[in-house]
Amino acid sequence: MEVLTEMKSGYKSILGLNKIKVLDTNKESTPDTTEEEIKKNIEMLNEKLKHPLGDDDGPLYSALKKTVENIVLSDLTWRDPVANIVLSDNSYIVTGLHRKLKPIFMEPCNKMKCTPPKLVVKKCEDFLENFEVLSTHKIVKNAKHDSKWKEDDSDLLKITGRILDVLGEIWSSPIYAISTSRNKQSEGTYITDVIVPLLRASLANLPNGYICTSM
């Protein structure tokens, strides 16, 4: 009973605070402008569709504009591509086009498709057929470094050549050509473009077989 009395007293206090608007959190909430931004994007899309790039695009733009104008804005969310001014090829706006207009819409995309040469396809198929997981039982266990080269001079010369080749490619890359572009690269880009290739060039053909390096 004492607990119930305390709860009732606390409830009355909260009601009293609400009456003087101390706990009125609705006024402090951030207004949702999503609907306004989506509306602005749709208006921008409609404006773009008023100006075909060429005479042949007129019917396509007209059909797309008619469909966009009939969109119910309240049904859109940011998950809908059209709300971000994107006409996706699998959206109802495009799939509902007349059968003569859809190929015109898809023409730029289809022109970018490249069929790989038969020799490339054959090489990939051979790789899948002949690939074998390398056995790791040959890796030397508990190998120790005794401050002596395990490779002869000719092997060391090849390794040095690989390292210098990698450095040459790195120094020739436009993203590392000037200090301004170098400073804009992320740590991940540096590791991928510089550290990993140098490690591979240095550690290839080790006497104890294949190894795995981790960052």
Locate the domains of the chain by residue range.
Answer: 34-111, 149-215
> Could you give the CA distance from residue 91 to residue 100 in angstroms, rounded to a whole number?
17
Two tokens at 202?
């240095």
Following CA atoms 181, 186, 188, 190 in sequence, which dihedral angle do they give, to the nearest 10 degrees?
A: 30
Does the pTM surpass 0.95? The reply is no
Q: What is the pLDDT along the chain (215 residues), one digit of tens a residue?
A: 444 454 455 545 544 544 444 444 454 455 567 888 999 999 999 998 988 887 778 899 999 999 898 888 888 888 888 888 888 888 888 888 888 888 888 888 888 878 889 999 999 999 988 887 665 555 555 667 788 887 788 888 988 999 999 999 888 888 777 777 767 778 888 888 888 889 888 887 765 555 555 55
What is the total residue count of the chain? Answer: 215
